[in-house]
Structure formats: structure tokens, C-alpha cells
Amino acid sequence: MTLAVVGASLAGLRAVESARRTGYPGRIVLIGAEEHLPYDRPPLSKAFLSPDGPRAVEPFLPAEELQELGVELLLGTRALSLDPVARLVDTAAGPVSYDTLVIATGATARVLPAAAGISGIHPLRTAEDAAAVRSALDSGARTVVIGAGFIGSEVASAARKRDLPVSIVESLDTPLVRAIGPEVGSVCAELHREAGTDLRLGTDVTGFEAENGAVTGVRLSTGEVLPADLVVTGIGAVPATGWLRDSGIPLHERDGGVICDATLAAAPGVYAAGDVAHVANSLFDGELMRLEHWTNAAEQGAAAARHALDPANAREFSAVPYFWSDWYAHRIQFVGTPRADEVVVTGPGCTALYRRGDRIVGAFTIDRPRDIMKYRKRIAARAPWREAVAFATEMAA
């Protein structure tokens, strides 16, 4: 019996750990395109960018501990295609046969075609990206971030913590509308302004200026050119499913992510987890969700392996989404879904509650780490709206 896991990052690692935890004694092959042992991405846009932060990316587990788990590691090895009928993954190092498979290939940062061939313009997804961004910050770069999403906002925070000038250019009038809604997006915009970040909303990037192949400026739709030695593109990520194109695995028509049922199954003997997977969540009226959140990747990775090894007992995966982000000296946290009929923003600091029908479906907080998991429990328990509002009022008192 062979369990193959494609993608050696958070979801893939949690899958192999959980397989062993269930007592599975068989062969495990973990296939990863990166040369590194599985490592954690959130620090890449936080501690790793600070001058006194870690100088090297730490793996989740040292190689010996992975060996103790009895995992055959194929690092620096890209999966090229999948034949789910023959149960075969073709990789750059040759074919791997499996009995059951977990797809955990995550997502790849979107890049701007206009940036091709110009140095100093980076996405921020991998250890190599983070090293390039940090090195530019170490040199005192004037930074322009394209996209006011979470990762771009964290890069702006890192620049401001070093007292470096930074601009964020965002085409929408309010940041983070899809992730947290317009009411709370406006609150987040204020955090940037208070920290001295130059926030350009409703503005498009039309191109770049370069000298000797290195970026020197960012051209805006307003006609202005922002000087820049470092440009970070925080314009989203797309599921890494090119290798599944001809496999017959159902892929989402919008972004190509793997479409799973509620047990994370995508086809017989094939499960998916993490940033790559669309999963219908019964806690939110069966909404198909593809999340790019750490906790989701960890929880789904573990569940996918359990289900892959014991499909007869596979249970529905339905967790309340959770993410955090660190901006300047603030911790931002969100649980649930922003798709709501009403959003109510209260103080102190900021707590926002999201209502759908007569229940709470989401909550957002700034600097209220003790509250957020209490909202997560309430959302999981389908708590009534009035009870959640009463709780928020009590917390604010």
C-alpha cells in the first residue's frame, strides 16, 4: 500500500504526520517541487523581513524527524501529470505508483507580465522571494507594493518598521473587499495611513520604469511615476494545478483549483487539501470555499490523509475558516465568511460581526486575540445573531 502526497508544504506535511498518527504502517512518498524541507510561509512576510529576524527559513521538522516518520522524500521534484485510473503520478524523477493520493500543491503567486526581465520586482510566496525582498529592504529600498491584500500590507508594515518610505497601489476604492467586506476594508485602510504608508486606492499600475534592467519606478494610471528600488506584487495566487490539466480531476472553471466533495475527495482514491482545494462547507449553506489560510491547510491536510487511508469512514470536513495577519503593531484576525446580509462594526479597537439571516457567520477583530476564537465557536455552533451581538457588547464593556 502506498500513500503519495504531492506538495511538500504545510498541507502535505500535515497529511503525512496524520497518516502515521492513525497508525498507517505502509509506504508514504512525499513529492515536492521546492528544494527545501517543508517550511512555514507566514513568517516570510513578518519576522523574516525584520532586520533582527531569522536569517534562514526554518523547516517545520528537521530531516531526521521526517525520516523517523518513514517518509520517502522526493524534494526538488515536480509532479508532471496524473493518471488517476492507473493510479500513477509522473514526476521529473520518474513515475510514482500509488494506492491513494493527497494533492497538496497549494498556489503560485500571480505575476505581472510587464515585470518580465526587470530586476527588483518580486512576488512573495517562497523562501527565495522573501530573501530577495529582505535584501532590498536591508539596502534601504524605496518600496512600492502592488495590491493592498494581506501579504502586501505586511510588506508595507515591514518597510515602515524600518522607517523606509513605502506606497501601496490598489486598483479598488477600498482594500480587501472580497476578503472582509467594504466596511472593515475601510478600517484597515486607516491602519496604513496612521503608520505613514502612502496608500493609493482606485489607482492602476500601467507599467514600470527601469535603468540597466533594474526597476526605478512604477507608472500609475494617474500619470504619476512612483520612484522604487523594490516592487512587491501582492496580486493574489492561483492554484498549482497545471500538472492535473489532462487528468480528468474536476478543476474549477474560474481558477483551476481542485473541486472536492465535502470529504475532500476529488476522484476515487484522490483527495485534496489546502490552498489548492475548493470544498463545499456545510456550515455556510454549502458554499464552495477555496481558502488561502494557514489553519485551513493544516486541518484539511490532516483530514485528507485520514480519509484517503480509510474512505469508508471519511467524514464531512466543515471547519470555520480562520486567518490572522500582522500589520504594524496590530494583529488582525478573521473567522467565518464575509458573505453577509449585514456587517456591524463596534469598538473598542475594532470588532466587526457579520450576519446572514438570523445567525452570525463571520467576525473580524483588531487586537482582540482572546475574543476571536470565542466567535469561531459561536459560528460553528450556528449561534443566533442577537446572542453574538450581546457577547460583543459584553466584551466591549
| Residue numbers at the binding site for ligand FAD (CB under 6 A) | 6-12, 31-34, 41-42, 44-45, 78-79, 104-107, 124-125, 151, 240, 243, 274-276, 292-295, 297, 323-325
Complex with ligand FAD: residue 78 or 142, whichever CB lies closer: 78
Whether omega before 348 lies within 30 degrees of 0, making that bond cis, reads yes
Kind of pairing between the strands at 100-103 and 88-91: unpaired
Complex with ligand FAD: residue 78 or 368, whichever CB lies closer: 78
Complex with ligand FAD: residue 12 or 217, whichever CB lies closer: 12
**Min. distance of Cβ 10 from ligand FAD in angstroms?**
4
**Min. distance of Cβ 85 from ligand FAD in angstroms?**
19
Q: Where are the beta strands (DSSP E) in 273-389?
A: 277-281, 287-289, 322-327, 330-336, 342-346, 350-356, 359-366
Dihedrals phi, psi of 382, to nearest 5 degrees: 55, 45
Complex with ligand FAD: residue 278 or 293, whichever CB lies closer: 293
**Min. distance of Cβ 119 from ligand FAD in angstroms?**
20
Amino acid making up residue 278: H
- Of 151, 144, 114, whose CA–CA distance to 130 is shortest? 151
Complex with ligand FAD: residue 219 or 252, whichever CB lies closer: 252
**Min. distance of Cβ 291 from ligand FAD in angstroms?**
7
**Distance from C-alpha of 305 to C-alpha of 285, rounded to nearest angstrom:** 25
Complex with ligand FAD: residue 123 or 217, whichever CB lies closer: 123
C-alpha to C-alpha distances, 190 to 21, 95, 186, 336, nearest whole angstrom = 45, 52, 7, 23
**Min. distance of Cβ 264 from ligand FAD in angstroms?**
12
Complex with ligand FAD: residue 129 or 371, whichever CB lies closer: 129
**Min. distance of Cβ 122 from ligand FAD in angstroms?**
11
Complex with ligand FAD: residue 45 or 174, whichever CB lies closer: 45
The Cβ of residue 192 has, within 10 Å, a number of other Cβ atoms equal to 25
Q: Which residues pair with 326 in a beta bridge?
A: 331
**Min. distance of Cβ 37 from ligand FAD in angstroms?**
10
**Min. distance of Cβ 161 from ligand FAD in angstroms?**
16
User: Grid coordinates in use for 231?
Assistant: 516592487
Q: Is 358 exposed, middle or buried (0-12, 13-18, 19+ CB in 10 A)?
A: exposed
Q: What are the helix (H) ranges across the chain?
A: 10-21, 63-68, 127-138, 150-161, 177-180, 182-194, 294-309, 369-380, 385-396
